[in-house]
Structure formats: structure tokens, C-alpha cells
Amino acid sequence: MSDQPKLELHLHLEGAAPPAFIRAQAKRKNTDLSRIFDENGTYAYRDFADFLRVYEAACTVLTSPQDFHDLTLAVLERSAEAGVIYTEAFLSPDFCGGGDLAAWRDYLAAIEAAAQQAEAQMGITLRGCVTCIRHFGPDQARRIAKCAQETAGHFITGFGIAGDETVLHPRDFAYAFDAAREAGLGLTAHAGEWGGPDSVRDALTHLRVSRIGHGVRAVEDPALVEHLAERGVVLEVCPGSNIALGLYRDWRSHPIDRLRRAGVRVTVSTDDPPFFHTTMRNEYTRLADAFGWTEQDFAEINQIALHAAFCDPETRAAIKKKLEAT
């Protein structure tokens, strides 16, 4: 079943950068990034705050559209290798010209060109979800929403918020989400990872999102679990990420199976695979081992992801066909 075709809804493009790719960029740019790697050459961080620092340090050597073109190809190659046929990646104008619209257009053109190349060569489809970063604040989020609004279409299909959930409040970002909604973009917010059930409630109330990134801590509140199930809110669950960042002790302790049994529409993603030493194939294998999930269970999860994807109807139909062909 780990060879089943897979749909992934929650992947940060820069967070998926292979460490060797970032090291090569650092070398070319004469930047010393040795502090962010351990002796095995993989990303080294102590906790979530440190993870964000390492992540942002890695991004400092991604400085041109060409870098993002090459990054996109490297990332999609690895996703395709793990059996992914459709992926939605969080793209951050913050790291692509600092939120300047003209610069963002150039970076986006490079990312899209790489996506077209990957689709032709590897059969993997990419769609972009522009994301603002919570700890960069609401004013910057408005600039990012403007980037999303101006480039919404066939390739940019969603808008989201990532970053440090422990600072500020979803209501501070309502303006940015309203702008993205008006542009016809699908909406998702990271919540219920470092914040509890109230954080998930606040994201639903103030940002009016159809999907929640992570959302797993909803499990701490049975009334909220019932609400998510009734409303059909889709959770982009990233179990390997949660375990690597210390949110749960091990796979058996992860709430994804409990949420699913309670009728919540869960999907499976990797978040930032090299940071967490995971792949989509590994997530499937570990979930099968921990919870006895079968090929049928994963097929159901793929169907949920297919319907929750922010892509246009033609893309959805093409992905559906691919799933049916296997």
C-alpha cells in the first residue's frame, strides 16, 4: 500500500528543500550555514522555535527565481519517487522577494515552469497555496494576500497562514483572508498544532477556512471534534511532523486514528519532509503499522484529499482518472 498513488495537501516548498540542496546553495553564495546542520548533514533544531529559525536561515540562500526553479524540481522529484501524483505546496512570497508583487511574479513564473517540467517528466501535478507567516504580522500578511489575489488562477489556487501559532490572533489576519476569499482562493490555516482547541475554533470563526493545517489538538475537545465532523472540515494531518517536533511521543499516541474514527475528514501529508526524516511513503507505512490501516483506508483518505484539493474541476477530474487507473 505504500506504493499506492498519493495526494498531499500540506507541503512547504522551502521546508521540503533537501539539506544537500541548501548546502550547495550556501557554498555557491559563500554563506556559512554550518550551524543549521548536524554531523550527519541533516537539519538540526532543538524545538519548534528553533525549527523556525533553522527554516528561515535555510531560506536565506534561496535568493533568485532560478533557485526556486531548481528547488521545485528537486522537491517534486522526491515527492514523485514517494508515489505522490498531486501535491499542494505552500509558497511564501516572504521568501520570494520579501512580499514585493513584481518580484513575486518572477519567482512564481520560475516555480510554475519547473512544475510544468516535472509534470511532463514525472507525472506529478503541483498547485500553489500562497501562505503568509503569522509571526511576520498582519501588515505583511496583507501584502502577501495581495500577491495571492493578483496571481490567483489555474496554478495559485489557495491561501493560508503558517508560522508561530502562539503569537497574535486569527482575527488579526481576517482582512488578508477576506481578500483571498474574494479572489476565489481556497482557504486553510495552521491551527491546533501549538495552540489547543480554541485556536482551531478561532481559525474557523475569524478566517472562515474549509481546511485546517494540522488541527490535531481538536481531539482535546469532544464538542469540537463533533463540530469538525458535522461541518466536514478537512484536517491536513502531518503525523511524522508532529512526532518529530515532540507534540506526540510516538505513532501509536498520535490522534489521527481517533479523529478519523470520530468521523473527522483527515488527510495525510509530510509538512517539511527532510526536517522530519519522512516521505509520503514512510507516512503511509507508519500509519499502517500503528493503526492497521489498509489499502482501502488509504484509498478513502485519497478521496477526501481529492475533494478537498483547491484545484480547478479539470485538474480534479484528471487526478481522479489517475487514481482510478491504479
In angstroms, rounded to a whole number, what is the distance separating the alpha carbons of residues 219 and 228?
A: 10
Taking contact as CB under 5 A, which single stretch among the options 121-129, 169-177, 199-207, 267-275 is the one that binds Zn ion? 267-275
In angstroms, rounded to a whole number, what is the distance separating the alpha carbons of residues 222 and 19?
A: 40
In angstroms, rounded to a whole number, what is the distance separating the alpha carbons of residues 129 and 90?
A: 5
Active-site option among 8, 14, 88, 193: 193
In angstroms, rounded to a whole number, what is the distance separating the alpha carbons of residues 226 and 263?
A: 8
The secondary structure of residue 284, as a DSSP letter, is H
Q: Indicate the residue among 60 and 303 with the shorter CB distance to ligand ADE.
A: 60
Among 88, 94, 257, 272, indicate the residue that binds ligand ADE (CB under 6 A): 272
Residue from 209, 59, 67, 243 nearest 136 by CA? 59
Q: Indicate the residue among 83 and 273 with the shorter CB distance to ligand ADE.
A: 273
Residue number with the smallest Cβ distance to ligand ADE:
162
Among 271, 274, 286, 311, indicate the residue that binds Zn ion (CB under 5 A): 271
Radius of gyration of the chain, Cα coordinates, nearest whole angstrom = 18
| Site string (84-123) toward ligand ADE, x via CB under 6 A | ----------------------------------------
Position 15 contacts ligand ADE (CB under 6 A): yes
Among 162, 200, 309, 311, indicate the residue that binds ligand ADE (CB under 6 A): 162
Q: Indicate the residue among 14 and 271 with the shorter CB distance to Zn ion.
A: 271
Position 12 contacts ligand ADE (CB under 6 A): yes
Cell of 177: 483572508
Among 94, 112, 236, 271, indicate the residue that binds ligand ADE (CB under 6 A): 271
| Site string (18-47) toward ligand ADE, x via CB under 6 A | ------------------------------
The total of other beta-carbon atoms located within 10 Å of residue 282's CB is 16
Asked about 193 being catalytic, the answer comes back as yes
Cell of 242: 508532529
Which of ligand ADE, Zn ion, none binds 234 (CB below 5-8 Å, type-dependent)? none
In angstroms, rounded to a whole number, what is the distance separating the alpha carbons of residues 213 and 244?
A: 16
In angstroms, rounded to a whole number, what is the distance separating the alpha carbons of residues 283 and 237?
A: 11
Could you tell me the smallest distance in angstroms from the CB atom of residue 19 to Zn ion? 18
Please work out, in degrees rounded to the nearest 5, the angle formed at the alpha carbon of residue 30 by the alpha carbons of 58 and 23.
40
Among 94, 193, 236, 257, indicate the residue that binds ligand ADE (CB under 6 A): 193
Which of ligand ADE, Zn ion, none binds 15 (CB below 5-8 Å, type-dependent)? ligand ADE
Helix (H, G, I), strand (E, B) or coil at 148: helix
Q: At what angle do helices 295-308 and 280-291 cross, to 10 degrees?
A: 130
The total of other beta-carbon atoms located within 10 Å of residue 54's CB is 18
Q: Indicate the residue among 276 and 306 with the shorter CB distance to ligand ADE.
A: 276
Could you tell me the smallest distance in angstroms from the CB atom of residue 208 to ligand ADE? 20
In angstroms, rounded to a whole number, what is the distance separating the alpha carbons of residues 151 and 139?
A: 19
In angstroms, rounded to a whole number, what is the distance separating the alpha carbons of residues 233 and 304?
A: 11
Q: Indicate the residue among 189 and 228 with the shorter CB distance to ligand ADE.
A: 189
Size of the site for ligand ADE (CB under 6 A): 9
Instruction: Report residue 89 CA to chain centroid gap.
Output: 5
Among 241, 267, 270, 278, indicate the residue that binds ligand ADE (CB under 6 A): 241
Give the binding site for Zn ion (CB under 5 A): 271
Q: Which residues are catalytically annotated?
A: 193
Give the binding site for ligand ADE (CB under 6 A): 12, 15, 162-163, 190, 193, 241, 271-272
